[in-house]
Amino acid sequence: MTPPPPTHPRLVDVAKRAGVSIRTVSNVVNDFPYISTTTRERVEQAIAELGYRPNLIARNLARGRTGLVALVVPQVAMPYFASLADSMLEATRDEEMVLVISQSRGSHQVELEALEGRFGQRIDGVVLSPTTLTDADIAHRRSTIPLVMLGDRTWGGVVTSVGIDHVSAATEAVRHLIAQGRHRIAIVGPYLNEEAKRFRGWAAALREAGIEPDPTWVIGTDGSTGEDGFAAGERLMQMSPRPDAAFFVTDWLALGAVRAFQRGGLTVPDDVAVVGYDDIPYGRASNPTLTTIRPDRAEIAHQAVASLVAQRDGDSAPVAIQASWSLVVRESSGAPATIEA
């Protein structure tokens, strides 16, 4: 009685069956040029007959790589990062990499370790969506593993970053509100100052329309949670004159504020037009649906992965990559009611 094959077929099994050496089989598997057609066919047939599939662990050991790429985000359950993860999964699959998601939960320590490539497994590259890192953290990093930073910061140019042009996007968002006839346009978010790109876009759009940005229209929040948005919405309602529109730096903030407005008896967009930012899925299902800036996540993910590949293959000059975005107009700023897919 023949015992069943104790494990998956290996390179040697294929080689034996095809009557060649493992070197040749390896060549075929890895698509080397210079193999005679007949040999190649023999090998391919043996592979098919045996159902051979390369053991990537062994391959990676030999190659000194893992084939694993890490995506580090604060928390995947947050809609924006869930969507990002989705896009990254697709982008890495196209490159035959395996994506490993890691949650920082806003921990500086975890982000620092990610910078150094310290994960459970050894990793070929890191795509990081930072929350607490500083330029100094990046400058001091010792590891040289391929790294891409997501977001609008450029980190002193010492590392590749992929983001969208937030100044332009914010400008476009506020322009849109102005085009709807709004003149008292608030901006809501954390860390709003002359450094903040979305803030600059907001101010630029107003000035461009001959409106001087009013400091009282700048509504600072602690963070970007729905509760922060709710609280900001309540503050906004008590202002007089009340703003007739508000630009929120994230959708989640905007949704919280809409909730506050509706509880306070205001109608969106009639009383206050609202624009968010990020295009999270819920913006399509909320009532009203939410006008927002949609970063091209697929492009961001592909650019990030492409940079990882380039860095791996020796091209290490850092670049600041800008992906595209679009303004999605929905009910919260006056679009007619629709049902989207």
Partner DNA sequence: GTGAAAGCGCTAACAA
Partner DNA sequence: TTGTTAGCGCTTTCAC
Contact between 54 and DNA (CB under 7 A)? yes
100 binds, among DNA, a copy of itself, none (CB under 5 to 8 A by kind): a copy of itself
**Of residues 203 and 273, the one with the C-beta less far from a copy of itself:** 273
**26 near DNA, rule: CB under 7 A:** yes
User: How far is CA 31 from its chain centroid?
Assistant: 33
In angstroms, give the least distance from the CB of 7 to DNA: 5
Residue 179 as a binder of DNA (CB under 7 A): the answer is: no
> Which one of a copy of itself, DNA, none interacts with residue 269, CB within 5 to 8 A by kind?
none
Q: Is 215 helix (H, G, I), strand (E, B) or coil?
A: helix
Q: CB neighbours (10 Å) of residue 132?
A: 14
Q: Kindly tell me which residue out of 44, 55, 76, 178 binds DNA, with binding defined by CB under 7 A.
A: 55
If one counts every other C-beta atom within 10 angstroms of the C-beta of residue 112, the result is: 16
User: Is 51 one of the binding residues for DNA (CB under 7 A)?
Assistant: no
Under 8 Å between Cβ of 184 and 244 = yes
Q: Is 48 in the site for DNA (CB under 7 A)?
A: no
Q: What is the 3-state secondary structure (H, E, C) of 278-303?
A: CCCHHHHCCCCCCEEEEECHHHHHHH
Q: Determine which residue in the list 41, 48, 58, 144 makes contact with DNA, applying CB under 7 A.
A: 58
Among 22, 211, 309, 310, binds DNA (CB under 7 A): 22
Q: What angle do CA 120, 125, 127 make, to 5 degrees?
A: 95
State the residue for tokens 């506020």. Answer: 174
Question: Shortest approach of DNA to residue 20 CB, angstroms?
Answer: 4
- Residue 130's contacts (CB-CB under 8 Å, 6 or more residues apart) are 111, 149, 150, 151, 153
Stated length of the chain: 341
Q: Tell whether residue 105 is a contact of DNA (CB under 7 A).
A: no
- Under the criterion CB under 7 A, does residue 309 sit at the interface with DNA? no
Partner whose binding site includes residue 10, from a copy of itself, DNA, none (CB under 5 to 8 Å by kind):
DNA
Give DSSP secondary structure letters for 91-105. HHHHTT-EEEEEE-T
> Taking the complex as a whole, how short is the minimal distance between the CB of residue 32 and DNA, in angstroms?
7
Q: Are strands 325-328 and 292-295 parallel, antiparallel or unpaired?
A: antiparallel
Q: What is the DSSP string of 145-172?
A: S-EEEESS--GGGTSEEEEE-HHHHHHH
51 contact choice in DNA, a copy of itself, none (CB below 5 to 8 Å, kind-dependent): none
List 62, 77, 317, 341, residue binding DNA (CB under 7 A): 62
Which residues touch 97 (CB under 8 Å, ≥6 apart)?
Answer: 67, 68, 69, 124, 305, 308
Indicate the residue among 231 and 275 with the shorter CB distance to a copy of itself.
Answer: 231
Q: For residues 103 and 154, which CB has a smaller minimum distance to a copy of itself in the complex?
A: 103
Nearest to 189 by CA among 84, 275, 74, 108: 275
Q: Which is nearer to a copy of itself, 39 or 326 (CB)?
A: 326
Within the chain, what is the greatest distance between any pair of CA atoms? 91
Is the CB of residue 253 less than 8 Å from the CB of residue 222?
no
Residues that bind a copy of itself (CB under 8 A): 7, 53, 55-58, 60-61, 64, 66-68, 75-79, 82-83, 85-86, 89-90, 93, 96-103, 118-122, 225-227, 230, 252, 255-256, 258-259, 262-263, 281-282, 284-287, 337, 339-341
Q: Which entry of DNA, a copy of itself, none binds 2, CB below 5 to 8 A by partner kind?
A: none
Is 313 a residue that touches DNA (CB under 7 A)?
no
Positions touching DNA (CB under 7 A) are 7-8, 10-12, 19-24, 26-27, 29-30, 34-36, 38-40, 52, 54-55, 58-59, 61-64
